[in-house]
Amino acid sequence: MDLKFTIRDLSLASEGQRKIDWVIPRMQVLNSIRNEFEKQLPFAGKKVVICLHLEAKTAYLAQVIKAGGAEVTVVASNPLSTQDDVVAALVQSGIGAHAWYNATEEEYSSHLQLALDTEPDFIIDDGGDLVSTIHTTRPELLQKVKGGAEETTTGVLRLHSMARDGVLKFPMVAVNDAQCKYLFDNRYGTGQSVWDGIMRTTNLVVAGKTAVVAGYGWCGKGVALRAKGLGARVIICEINPIKANEALMDGFEVMPMVEAAKHGDFFITVTGNMNVINKEHFIVMKSGAIMCNAGHFDIEVNVAQLKEISVSERTARTNITEYTLPNGQNLYVLADGRLVNLAAGDGHPAEVMDMTFALQALSLEYIALNYEELEPKVYQVNTEIDEKVAMLKLQSLGLSIDKLTEEQAAYLGSWSSEA
């Protein structure tokens, strides 16, 4: 294979490989899948493009897909989450890569195009940029791409709207919607890594402060739960009355953002929606308030509007921008409003991503084995794959669970009142 790469510095490879080596023993489910892939080679002779946040755990997923016989190329799903040393290590291990930290918009798009020049058979996407780029700019590839898997809530929503409009041209598995994904990655992964990102970036105390979390979906629940554990007073902002009631019964305060804006020390948006914190909120915030986003795109905190109403801005600390309003109040935005846990941290813990990436690997295998029978639509991860990942995870932890007896199975499967 003629290995192609566009990266910052290949000499960083040994540091990157050290990071990958740290996660491998902590991703036991993925390790057992790698062992299966090495024997069965489900992707033999096929090309795979992987578009994810490029750090150690995703790098290991790329290596596992390669172990399954694929020719793999990686590209970034976010310009600020790429770790240049990890990407160098991937190239060193025979994986094509087009990505570097802090790529400009033009560089980011050109990297996607370079990855697509490999003419992939299968893809893994995170947020939908790769799928959308293929459909809008590379129609000649629509025949070649046989399908793929999508990582996150926002990407799955985009896929559903493409399918609804009849434009999606190949099958995609919604990995995000598997129980082994959102119950653990979105909730506990985001919960922990968002606070890790905030704390390592600001080096400030959380206990006794007020944290405002916008969005009480799977990610928001995790962020709120960890904020509570850290000793914060937690306020939830929602647009969905059912989620708002859930937040209330989980023990949190609920109010609209315009009210919460007056109280918050930390603001975390995690809605997948745009312009959740705007000018009307900035102007009533306390001086010193810190805002960040954990939703997929950097559109939740309206940073453009904050710039407009500020008299000055400066870098207060790495990954912290200070905005001064005309009244002298200072407001802070972490990582320019990009995913704080990835742009200002290392992302989710390896043990959590073990389950997500096991789902990715098995979903891609499912596509590779079945694409001839599949239609161009969004597929759910099948229950056997979800349960296999859960069982492998328990086994990797040395745990086992009870089994239904025949009598119990018959009882649960019968409708009559006589057992």
Helix (H) or strand (E) holding 6: strand 5-6
Cβ atoms within 10 Å of 76's Cβ, excluding its own: 28
Select the span of 76-84, 269-277, 388-396, 407-415 touching ligand NAD (CB under 6 A): 269-277
320 binds ligand NAD (CB under 6 A): no
Q: Could you say which of 58, 190, 302, 319 contacts ligand NAD (CB under 6 A)?
A: 190
CB nearer to ligand NAD: give 71 or 196.
196
* CA–CA dist 21, 36 (Å, integer): 20
299 binds ligand NAD (CB under 6 A): no
255 binds ligand NAD (CB under 6 A): no
254 binds ligand NAD (CB under 6 A): no
Select the span of 89-97, 288-296, 381-389, 406-414 touching ligand NAD (CB under 6 A): 288-296
215 binds ligand NAD (CB under 6 A): yes
Name, in order, each residue with C-beta under 8 angstroms of 414's C-beta and a sequence gap of 6 or more: none
152 binds ligand NAD (CB under 6 A): yes
Instruction: Name the maximum alpha-carbon separation found in the chain.
Output: 76
Three-state secondary-structure class, residue 118: coil
Task: Compose the 156-185 pattern: x for residues touching ligand NAD by CB under 6 A, - for all others.
Answer: --------------------------x---
Query: If you write DSSP's letter for every residue of 249-304 in order, what string do you get?
Result: HTT-EE--HHHHTTT-SEEEE-SS-S-SB-HHHHTTSPTT-EEEE-SSSTTSB-HH
- DSSP annotation of 339 reads B
Q: How many residues bind ligand NAD (CB under 6 A)?
A: 28
Q: Could you say which of 42, 171, 191, 217 contacts ligand NAD (CB under 6 A)?
A: 217
Select the span of 116-124, 290-298, 330-338, 393-401 touching ligand NAD (CB under 6 A): 290-298
Select the span of 71-79, 117-125, 210-218, 381-389 touching ligand NAD (CB under 6 A): 210-218
Is residue 167 within 8 A of residue 375, CB to CB? The reply is no
73 binds ligand NAD (CB under 6 A): no
- 297, with CB counted inside 10 A (0-12, 13-18, 19+), is middle
Nearest distance, CB of residue 39 and ligand NAD, angstroms: 32
Is residue 271 within 8 A of residue 245, CB to CB? The reply is no
CB nearer to ligand NAD: give 295 or 337.
295
Name, in order, each residue with C-beta under 8 angstroms of 235's C-beta and a sequence gap of 6 or more: 210, 211, 212, 213, 252, 253, 254, 255, 260, 263, 264
Looking at beta carbons, which residue is closest to ligand NAD? Answer: 217
Q: Could you say which of 58, 81, 153, 319 contacts ligand NAD (CB under 6 A)?
A: 153
What CA–CA distances, in Å, run from 365 to 40, 146, 173, 181?
Answer: 10, 12, 11, 17
CB nearer to ligand NAD: give 131 or 339.
339
Residues interacting with ligand NAD, by CB under 6 A? 152-154, 182, 186, 190, 214-220, 237-240, 243, 270-273, 276, 294-296, 339, 341
